[in-house]
């Protein structure tokens, strides 16, 4: 177990820095680990390896990992209310039957493009699926800008484009009153907010709630805690930052022993553990030797806050 420390005052007062621990729990390295989701009923962590083209389930009780191959890049996976999962594979949204490993097409996005893929996705408080796209990476990791979009998928599987001209569609979250949608387009180096209309799921009044500081890297995936504060994974920043979206103040920093931190979610028996995914793709040999845990998934304990249960897609 490796211990790292918070260096900011939290919303509940000063965190006991010596109590914050960071432990590598999923030691199978991912090329691009992403999209962690805690399954409360099974005490399992669901996440994807985008470039590895796999969906993983790690059991916190048995420490075993099960995997399903997707045959193409997989940007996200979420539970489905009717059973199984829904995943974003390539530009398709698929139903996934875990036991049979069968995948059934439900919808498709970016039908007017061939150079994009689905990236981050999450279920809103009303059971809709929101999922975004980005241009496919070149062999050197470059992407064509402004090729992505953000979509909403309703229970009848109707697809609505909410945003276009997106660079890298990433973190998605909602405020406790469900009226504000938080969103990350990574290359903008900001966390943005929109007014969110519950009935239609429409967006309005875009504004910046946090701007990344030098050394923090790119904002990637994020989650909320029970106080409505955001936890943002910092790609190439080696950390997760805890921010208050109402004030724009950074409350706390959690350092990780890897630079390419990709996403996070709360889980564990009482949702007080923060699970953090990471990537190894793009590191050179020197960087890999300095970061032997790159691509692993980590569990952070002692933060003094709790998260909320994951939501299931109703389609």
- Taking every pair of Cα atoms in the chain, the longest distance, rounded to a whole number of angstroms, is 52
Question: Is 170 annotated in some ligand binding site?
Answer: yes
Is 205 annotated as belonging to a binding site?
no
Q: Is 7 annotated as a binding residue?
A: no
34 is in an annotated binding site: yes
Catalytic residue among 49, 120, 192, 220: 220
Beta-carbon contacts of 46 under 8 Å, excluding residues fewer than 6 positions away, are 35, 36, 37, 38, 39, 55, 56, 57, 77, 79, 85
Residue 16 marked as a ligand binder: no
Please indicate whether residue 220 is annotated as part of the active site.
yes
Distances from the Cα of 283 to the Cαs of 109, 240, 296, 299, in angstroms?
31, 19, 14, 22
Q: What separation in angstroms does the CA of 48 have from each of 35, 44, 74, 78, 280?
A: 6, 13, 7, 10, 14
User: Is residue 69 a known part of a binding site?
Assistant: no
**CB contact at 8 A, 90 and 117:** yes
Distance of CA 148 to the CA centre of its chain: 17
Q: Which residues are annotated as a binding site?
A: 34, 117, 119, 137, 170, 220
Annotated binding residues for a divalent metal cation: 34, 170, 220
What positions carry a catalytic annotation?
220
């Amino acid at each position: 177990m490796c211990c790292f420390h918070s260096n900011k005052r939290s919303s509940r007062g000063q965190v006991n820095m010596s109590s914050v621990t960071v432990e590598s729990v999923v030691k199978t390295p991912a090329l691009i680990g992403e999209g962690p989701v805690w399954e409360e009923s099974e005490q399992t962590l669901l996440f994807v390896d985008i470039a590895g083209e796999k969906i993983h389930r790690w059991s916190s009780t048995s420490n075993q990992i099960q995997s399903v191959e997707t045959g193409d890049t997989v940007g996200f996976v979420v539970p489905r209310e009717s059973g199984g999962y829904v995943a974003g594979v390539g530009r398709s949204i698929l139903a996934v039957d875990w036991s049979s490993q069968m995948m059934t097409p439900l919808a498709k996005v970016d039908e007017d493009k061939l150079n994009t893929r689905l990236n981050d996705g999450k279920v809103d408080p009303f059971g809709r699926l929101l999922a975004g796209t980005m241009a496919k990476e070149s062999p050197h990791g470059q992407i064509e800008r402004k090729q992505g979009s953000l979509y909403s998928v309703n229970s009848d599987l109707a697809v609505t484009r909410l945003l276009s001209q997106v660079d890298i569609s990433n973190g998605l979250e909602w405020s406790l009153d469900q009226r504000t949608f938080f969103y990350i387009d990574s290359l903008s180096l900001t966390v943005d907010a929109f007014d969110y209309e519950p009935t239609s799921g429409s967006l309005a009044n875009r504004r910046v709630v946090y701007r990344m500081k030098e050394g923090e890297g790119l904002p990637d995936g994020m989650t909320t805690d029970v106080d409505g504060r955001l936890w943002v994974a910092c790609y190439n920043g080696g950390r997760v930052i805890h921010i208050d979206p109402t004030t724009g103040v950074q409350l706390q920093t959690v350092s990780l022993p890897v630079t390419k931190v990709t996403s996070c979610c709360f889980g564990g028996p009482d949702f007080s553990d923060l699970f953090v995914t990471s990537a190894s793709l793009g590191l050179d040999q020197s960087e890999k030797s300095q970061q032997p845990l790159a691509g692993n998934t980590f569990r952070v304990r002692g933060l003094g806050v709790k998260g909320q249960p994951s939501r299931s897609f109703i389609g």
